[in-house]
Amino acid sequence: MSNLMIEHGGALGDCMWEVPALNVLQDHFDQIYQSGRERGEQALGATGLIDRFINKPPEFKSWDDAYKRQWLTYQTRGIEWDTFVNLHGVVPARLMHHEKSFCYNLPVECKRRANKGKNYFDEITLRFQEALGIDLSEAVGKRPITKHTEAEKALLRDFRSRYDIPASAFLLGYQFAGSSRIKWWPYFKEAIQENIMQRYPEVYLIGLGDLDGVLEWDYAYHHGRYVNLEKNVTFREAYVLTSIFDLLVSPETGVYNAAQAYDCLPKILLATHTDGTHITCGGESTILTPECDCAPCYDVVHTCKIDKAVNAPLCIASIKPEVVVNAIEEVIQRKQRMDMLRIQSGMLTLHRGLVGVGRV
Q: What is the pLDDT of residue 273?
A: 87
Nearest C-alpha neighbor of 128 from the set 90, 95, 97, 93: 90
Q: What is the pLDDT of residue 184?
A: 87
Nearest C-alpha neighbor of 16 from the set 277, 258, 237, 279: 258
Residue percentage of the chain with pLDDT more than 70: 88
Quick check: 155 pLDDT over 80? Answer: yes
Quick check: 126 pLDDT over 70? Answer: yes
Q: Tell me how far apart the alpha carbons of residues 88 and 67 are, in angstroms, rounded to a whole number.
A: 20
Instruction: Report the chain's mean pLDDT, rounded to a whole number.
Output: 88
Q: Tell me how far apart the alpha carbons of residues 291 and 42 are, in angstroms, rounded to a whole number.
A: 34
Strands 29-36 and 247-251, how do they pair? Answer: unpaired
Q: Is 315 helix (H, G, I), strand (E, B) or coil?
A: helix
pLDDT in tens, 204-239: 999 888 666 665 555 555 667 888 887 788 999 999
Average pLDDT, integer, range 3-32:
94
Q: Which residue has the higher pLDDT, 182 or 119?
A: 119
Q: Which residue has the higher pLDDT, 298 or 318?
A: 318
Quick check: 143 pLDDT over 90? Answer: yes
Q: What is the pLDDT of residue 168?
A: 92
Q: What is the pLDDT of residue 227?
A: 84
Average pLDDT, integer, range 25-36:
97
Q: What is the pLDDT of residue 225?
A: 86
CB 271 within 8 A of CB 287: yes
What structural domains and CATH numbers belong to the chain?
A: 2-139 (3.40.50.2000), 151-343 (3.40.50.2000)
Q: Tell me how far apart the alpha carbons of residues 289 and 274 are, in angstroms, rounded to a whole number.
A: 9
Q: Tell me how far apart the alpha carbons of residues 127 and 113 are, in angstroms, rounded to a whole number.
A: 20
Lowest-pLDDT range of 60-74, 210-224, 226-240, 252-266: 210-224
